[in-house]
Chains A and B, each alone.
Chain A
């Protein structure tokens, strides 16, 4: 049983560019949450998707957007990248409000 898978694992962008990160949830899970973890910090909640809609959102600007597809997979998009967007982006899936399972993350470096 595959767990939560994320792609790409590492990527480098320059300021002002746009990035798309992808996540496939654990089998049987219908809810996907995205977290940003800056170096030396705990993960911070970005948003959560359920039934293809954004159900909750953390304190992140509109440059951060997402999508959930009918197969429950999800994308995180970040526009107009800033140096401060450099972080590990974690996707977590769950069945409803159950236990969260994290993927290995996508490490984004913005130069």
Chain B
């Protein structure tokens, strides 16, 4: 059974700081990795995807993938109060996604 593990948090950071979110997965054959942001009562919104080892940057967001360690992370630079949400890590297996439980991020002004 595929598993995706995340620290449930909450992770609290001050405005302007770097928030670091982590995720591990069990299926070594996984090829595609995603980070979704979910505001309370809303549906998940894709913010980053990564498919190969290394870093991928998009604005204030950087996703990092280490397949040997089965580890994915998301860095949010210059965190804003509007970034306060639950961040879901998801791993793809033939067009279906296995999600972690999510990490709640709280950015204080």
Q: Which residues of A contact B (CB under 8 A)?
A: 31, 33, 35, 40-45, 48, 56, 58, 88, 90, 94, 96-105
Which of A40, A43, A101 is the one whose CB lies under 8 Å from B99?
Answer: A43
**Which residues does chain A contribute within 8 Å of B43, judged by CB atoms?**
88, 90, 102-105
Q: Which residues of B contact A (CB under 8 A)?
A: 4, 8, 42-46, 49, 88, 90, 94-102
Using CB atoms, name the residue of chain A closest to B46. A99
* Most chain B beta-carbon neighbours within 10 Å: one of A42, A44, A100: A42
Q: Is the CB of A56 within 8 A of B94?
A: yes
Q: List 8 A-B contacts (CB under 8 A).
A: A42-B4, A42-B100, A42-B101, A43-B88, A45-B98, A56-B96, A96-B95, A105-B42
Take A99-B46, A104-B43 as given contacts and tell me if A44 and B96 are in contact as well, using a CB distance cutoff of 8 Å.
Answer: no
CA of A101 to CA of B100, assembled, Å: 18
Q: Is the CB of B44 within 8 A of A43?
A: yes
CA of A40 to CA of B6, assembled, Å: 12
CA of A44 to CA of B90, assembled, Å: 11
Q: Is the CB of B95 within 8 A of A45?
A: no
**Which residues does chain B contribute within 8 Å of A40, judged by CB atoms?**
8, 101
Q: Is the CB of A48 within 8 A of B95?
A: yes
Using CB atoms, name the residue of chain B closest to A47. B96
**Which residues does chain A contribute within 8 Å of B94, judged by CB atoms?**
56, 97
Using CB atoms, name the residue of chain B closest to A57. B96
**Which residues does chain B contribute within 8 Å of A33, judged by CB atoms?**
95-96
CA of A88 to CA of B102, assembled, Å: 15
**Which residues does chain A contribute within 8 Å of B95, judged by CB atoms?**
31, 33, 48, 56, 94, 96-98, 100
CA of A99 to CA of B95, assembled, Å: 8
* Most chain A beta-carbon neighbours within 10 Å: one of B8, B43, B88: B43
**Which residues does chain A contribute within 8 Å of B98, judged by CB atoms?**
45
